[in-house]
Amino acid sequence: MDEKSKLPELDTRLAKIIELLHQIEGITLNQQQVLCADFIEQGDLSIVEEMADNKENIMTEVEQTEEAFEVLYNEAKVDINSKSYIAKLQENISEVLRLKDSIIRLEKANMELMTKDLRVKLGKFTIPKPAQEVVNMYKRTTRVQPL
């Protein structure tokens, strides 16, 4: 494959990354809707877990595609001299970064929703101390009087 024929492959891989990131963004938005709609009222997180598994599979594909893109780019970068092609590449890479940032913000919001929901459902709770710690505290606070 000559260097010029690698440019369409670069475009294809970058477009694939963008497509996959759009899928992840959509799934993350759907998770947010599920979390907001109280579908998990009975503690059933299976829908959210299924979505997370799906996102994980897609993310693996994103990582593989990014690695292939990087290898291809390193091979072809010396031959990329068209300003319009460079501008197009920069625009697409900016879109990738924007999507990744959006996904991170959505994930953070989802975690906050889940944390808030758990706090409301669980209320305030205390963790019981281990038995040995209770015994040690008792021994320190009570003094045995000699007979």
Report whether 65 contacts 13 (CB < 8 A). Answer: yes
- Count of residues in the chain: 147
Query: In whole numbers, what is the pLDDT of the chain averaged over residues?
Result: 84
* Whole-structure pTM value: 0.74
Q: With pLDDT > 90 as the criterion, what percentage of the chain qualifies?
A: 50
114 vs 72, more confident: 72
SS3 category, 34? helix
34: Cα separation from own chain's centroid: 17
Look at residue 130 in the predicted model and tell me its pLDDT.
78
Longest dimension (CA), the chain: 98
- 83-106, pLDDT tens digit by residue? 999 999 999 999 999 999 999 999
What distance in Å separates the CA atoms of residue 134 and residue 34, rounded to the nearest whole number? 43
